[in-house]
Structure 1
Amino acid sequence: MPGDPTIHHTSDLRGSDGASEGASSLVVILVGAPGSGKSTFCDDVMAAARRPWVRVCQDVVANGKQGTKSQCITSASAALEEGKSVFIDRCNLEQEQRADFVRLRKVQVDVHAVVLDLPAQLCISRSVKRTGHEGKLQGGRAAMVVNRMLQKKELPNLTEGFSRITFCQNESDVKEAVKTYSQLGPSDILSAGVFGQKNKEAKVQLGIMKFLKKIDKPDFDASGKDSTPVGNLPHDTASIQTSVTSTCSMELEKNKEDLRNSNSKCPSQRSLIGDSSMDFVHTLAFPSISTADFQFDLKLASEIIVDCVSDFLQRFDNIRLVLVDLSEKSKILSLVRERSANKHIDSSKFFTFVGDITQLHTRGNLRCNVIANAANWRLKPGGGGVNAAIFKVAGESLQIATKKCADILSPGSSVVVPLPSNSPLHSRERVTHVIHVVGPNMNPQRPNCLNNDYVEGCKVLRNAYSSLFANFASILENQSKTDSKRHVSAISSTHVEGTTITSSPDSDQMAKQEAQSNPDRNKKSKVFATSGASKDKSIVMNDNHGHTPCNENTGNLMSSASLGDAVDENRRHAKVTKRSWGAWAQALHEIALNPEKHQNVVMEKSDDYVVLNDMYPKAKKHVLVVSRLQGLDSLSDVRKEHLSLLKTMHSAGLKWTRMFLKEDASLMFRLGYHVVPSMRQLHLHVISQDFDSPRLQNKKHWNSFNTSFFRDSTDLIQEIEKHGVANINDDESLLKMELRCHRCRSAHPNIPRLKSHIALCKASLPASLLDNDRLVSASPKG
């Protein structure tokens, strides 16, 4: 748009052939309540647009009818493949709702957010009055829905992955945004950043960190009161700071008094708060898991907390566990205090504390070197309560550090994240580690709800706390080792039944010496390492280089020394991507272990495998042969002892190809595995080479079957026979390679063009597929 300083024309980015080398397509995620004008915004832009736009609306995505989020993603991806820009017309009021659409930036497009943050009263009035709405949200019911949705509103921020965010808080703002996007040329690029945010929430989004940088660590007088002059704070935060300080001071005094009362009954103990004379005690502060957003029964939760705490404290000295909640009226704190007293738990080693878990040192004078986060399974900022607070205060460095440790986390498990020194939680609060932990969900408004199944829920919650405490113990052990040897060259991650324990390679050698000189201590480490274990008794050592399972028959853990030796050995042969499995990726695992519950999808069952159609087939014939061996999640788990199973699965795949070839002799098949599968449980793809399927929709789908990301079954069997492990190339760039016909190797710009070509291509399949029986057909020559 001429004269608009936010728009850059890309003529200077064009090559000699005139093609733009910059990103030309856009994904614009609209954020707003029903009635905020999202659909009208799209219509107004598209009516005057200078570039091709596609509106993706969940209310009409299924051939004019209401569809699913997955269908929206598919529709958006298809439009981007065609070089069009996309509006995502959904409410998108929560970060979790936006996350999957933000990931579309991986197809090398810019992702923007346009926030229609209009007054709630206006949105409700519009929703109630409208008729003929696509999603049928109108009339009196609309007011309740809008109100409920706005209560969960999470304004977007750049850390989610947006390159630009535009806030519209009145009709004038909306008109300006419409003008900006409608006059955007086919190759124009908008400036990055946040635009139009004028209210107090803008200051919040910039972060509490902004004003914290302006003050040094607060000073406390003898009473625990913050003596930093309020006048030194920015005017927009002074009143908030005063309120927080006053509240925390009262909470501190209450906790001191609770401990004094407790200690008066036990003269040998002394208060651990406000006692600067005592040596530092390793302390884990943790919130109650799953009792807020995830609505777990408080009484049951309190019983599980105290039982797990009691079991853990019996094994360790010189540690403290602190249960933290913001409100002194907290029901969970009172229940835990009562149960803890009944079990006679030492109140100097475990107590409750009222305060902000992100300000325990500066506001509560309570030193905690490790804090737990009640995380979501995506390990992302957002939601409410503790998770949002910790990510906000810790800053972007925590997100980066978390990403290095894990992408997702299953309920009942936890992961340790060493906190970078540049994080305010580290520098100001002296927190060295954050442990993300995911508990069970009893809230039907949240993903993976257990629908009031408290048998499973209690099991998951108990595993969550056991995993949390096991990880805390691992931090202590590693710190004690690095105190005597500080030159740590690398960090590896040990996964114990969903628990990720950080350790250093140097510590493995030390563990060997320690095991010889102090066998009792070695036994002790085994005890805490298994405290988060589930019914499966295997243990996996998993880092960026090696992966080795424990002997499943013994059910015992290897010592840290033997684990290190095993990893070093496997490191020479295999590269494995660290992996946690989300609930959505567990479907094959569930079917394989419980096929009797899934008779409607299982086409064949044996003791070793089940056969079923791929739910999203990428060809005319596409079935999966799924291993039934527990603990065998992917190729990275396969060892020489699994050869017999691999051959059995291959034979089953051949049997099904013969059946398909009797129906259609023109088909040809490949049998193979993805090096990094999207679904848990080792499974063999049996796929016809026509690739004629509406489910094949993007570059990732195509390249996962037509690059070295797909390993032929016959090759793998020979490789494992020779080397004992599979050679895994988990380079994600394989999935981003240009689209090439699998027959003639010609290149194509998008999936529709590629499919059109394949339907007419008469070239023979590559000769390499004829070697080693990689290609199965009715004709020996294929």
Structure 2
Amino acid sequence: MEVQIEESGKNQTFPESIEADKAKQIVVLLIGPPGSGKSTFCDTAMRSSHRPWSRICQDIVNNGKAGTKAQCLKMATDSLREGKSVFIDRCNLDREQRSEFIKLGGPEFEVHAVVLELPAQVCISRSVKRTGHEGNLQGGRAAAVVNKMLQSKELPKVNEGFSRIMFCYSDADVDNAVNMYNKLGPMDTLPSGCFGEKKLDTKSQPGIMKFFKKVSALPASSSNEATNTTRKADEMTANVRVSPVKLGSADIVPTLAFPSISTADFQFDLEKASDIIVEKAEEFLSKLGTARLVLVDLSRGSKILSLVKAKASQKNIDSAKFFTFVGDITKLRSEGGLHCNVIANATNWRLKPGGGGVNAAIFKAAGPDLETATRVRANTLLPGKAVVVPLPSTCPLHNAEGITHVIHVLGPNMNPNRPDNLNNDYTKGCKTLREAYTSLFEGFLSVVQDQSKLPKRSSQTAVSDSGEDIKEDSERNKKYKGSQDKAVTNSLESESLEDTRGSGKKMSKGWNTWALALHSIAMHPERHENVVLEYSDNIVVINDQYPKARKHALVLARQESLDGLEDVRKENLQLLQEMHNVGLKWVDRFQNEDASLIFRLGYHSVPSMRQLHLHVISQDFNSDSLKNKKHWNSFTTSFFRDSVDVLEEVNSQGKANVASEDLLKGELRCNRCRSAHPNIPKLKSHVRSCHSQFPDHLLQNNRLVARAET
């Protein structure tokens, strides 16, 4: 994969390179044991390169003889002063070895790492078989040295001071890296971040005695052996699960890769589209911090990439934060070494697979998980809108490419052969395309902001329906296990007490990312048109995504400072009354559909999702989503605070009473006759046939809302 660079009106290509306004020298630390190919890498990359390079090798730094680290540092400093970039040809296997060379970096110098993470067999074989080595490390002694070095190896991290790290696991990876540095011109630079890293489930270094037996049986041609071993290693790693991206870590730069919207099948004018892309990218870059935007196209001769690149350069937009890239958007990490945790999909209004182009490719690469996750978020999409879809950890794109989110975005249609085209109305078309990129970049911004620095609340131990101790993982937590720390910014996962519980303390700070979904909807209901039933300046109404009864809606407060019932004070009384009135209005609507339904309106004492919300829930509790004791007891014990009582308490004492979470561990009792039951299935079976009168306290103070004839 390559990034296009336009120079002097000519369209040239340099692997992943981006033109810079000012020449910047590079210090490249080669990291790998003896035999990994560091010296060969340097020699090949420097050969016929347009950029002046100097190779710093400790084996020959002292007038052709082995020298010291201090001599290497001096030679590197002298080379940089002469305007050269430098390759540090040392093993650099641990942080301490690297630290002083990293300090060579500064405003005028970038420090890169190229990690030659080839199989141990290959490195040992090369070391044993080679002759005439500069440091005289060859023969049988080399195997023991390589083995010892690998035992203390520490892979580099961006937070050591590297601006870029690239991992090479095979000869093909190495060739790609060599070619990239070889073609770097004096005015070229490379995108920052961590590229190509894979975390293998198995150790790459076998025991030394075990491996000595393999060394003795090696064929005469070390090159053939190394090639075969590498090929086997590639085959081995092909099915290895890649460690997911963790936003907010020092290792990964949050990156959105997006295609040009509406310029393919929807035939939007390329000049106008490129203007809007650059305009919106420039607008959002200042809000994104270290995050990056990457415009991706499959074609090397892409006109939209050339236009955007030229216009971004004219506006002096930071090319390390906004650049173009040629490649398959579904294989950016595996084939191009570009690590993007979020990708955009130019979708159709039905949010369906198929049709061709980017939409078909992304749905195919993600498999059925993406379609399922999309349906949780929305069923249709309007032009100019976007929807953020978190990918479950089971999704192939999540595993293979480290992609945690897909943002579906729909642009304007200018194609007269497609339905709902704008009849060449570019006034409306440009407005809609601007809205589309705004929605896209806002979605990415929310992913970055909501995920970056959120502490995790630890799971607590609770009692299961059978009385055994279990971890409090909800069904959704299990489904998305391993990805809860990915940004679930716009997820509509419902309030369910099984999700996460603290120790009874206020949880307004330190919310898990998925628990922010209601807050996101309350603050920006206009971004969630597909799920919002109604909203005003003060409230938002949605259906609970995992209803615990036949009818279960949520009325969300839109006030920023109200996370839960504990935050409510007397000054919020008017808002609480409005929420109650809106809840009654929706009860009336539901009862118009089914007059037999009886409702309660109330709050959980301790919410599992951020943002004060009122439950409007029918008392049949007939739902497959009601699965465990915590579900049941959160709605049928005094843990559930009736809205009418909350209003009275806030009015009289300035705050609402909240109950202990210990109530969630109590017996399973029928919400009518209060009989006890051993488990949820038996309880549900009883409730379906129980016609007893509700307990006396519920019949008072209008806690139950029923039609007169019920």
TM range (shorter): 0.3 to 0.5
Higher Cα Rg, which structure: 2
Choose between structure 1 and 2: higher helix proportion: 1
For normalisation by structure 1, the TM-score amounts to 0.36
Higher relative contact order (CA 8 A, sep 6+): 2
For normalisation by structure 2, the TM-score amounts to 0.39
